[in-house]
Amino acid sequence: MIPSCEAFDFLLLPGLGNSGVDHWQSHWSMAFPNTSRVLQDDWDTPRLADWLARLDNAVAQGMRPAVLIAHSLGVALAVQWLATRAPGRVKAALLVAPSDVESADHTPNEVRNFAPLPRAALPVPSTVIASSNDPYVTLARAGAFAASWESGFCDVGELGHLNGASRLGLWPQGLVLLGRLLNRI
């Protein structure tokens, strides 16, 4: 049986530039009252240490079990955080469209300070969701990340970077995958 969504705090971790109004993360934040975006001081010139501190604060403020819902550079933030902190109330991570921060061919120099990505199993259940035509990571590389993190893996086909330009709206498929992840807690 899938746990009730009301039992969790969902922490949205957007990527470089934040998630615009057409992004599925924005739709989720409007649809679910227990969802909050972890805000960053600088969305365009991110510093890993600063972003980690903001996530530390967000995790410390909540009372219920939390689920990280990360997109793009937010995935790098989530895995760096999980690799260097005790998960505490964080019980799972949905990792959508991970950006390959180690590849100059796929990501801008502004995100290089999030590299290298950890290659150890994550301490909580997790799922990596990737598109076969994402310009910021190859499908093979996303699958390799999932394998090293011992995450579930889902190829959702040709949906680009799974962002606002992908026109996913509330993204029902993502909600189904989130439900499956919650069932693993």
Residue pair 40/51 in contact by the 8 Å Cβ criterion: yes
Q: Residue 15's closest CA among 57, 44, 53?
A: 44
Residue ranges of domains in the chain: 5-182
Q: How far apart, in whole angstroms, are the C-alpha atoms of residue 104 and residue 36? A: 31
Secondary structure (3-state) at 34: coil
4 confidence band (pLDDT: 50, 70, 90):
confident
pLDDT, average across residues 20-24: 95
pLDDT, average across residues 78-88: 97
Angle, helices 73-84/48-61, rounded to nearest 10 degrees? 70
For the chain, the straight-line distance linking the first and the last C-alpha, in angstroms and rounded, comes to 11
What's the pLDDT score for residue 77?
Answer: 99
pLDDT tens figures, 157-176: 999 999 999 999 999 999 99
CATH of 5-182, one of 3.90.1150.10, 2.150.10.10, 3.40.50.1820, 1.10.10.60: 3.40.50.1820
Q: What's the pTM value of the predicted model, to 2 decimals?
A: 0.97
Identify the residue with better confidence: 126 or 2. Answer: 126
Quick one: tokens of 163?
């962002």
Assess whether pLDDT exceeds 90 at residue 91. yes
* Phi and psi, residue 84, nearest 5°: -120, 0
Whether omega for the bond prior to residue 116 falls within 30 degrees of 0, making it cis, is yes
What's the pLDDT score for residue 5?
Answer: 79
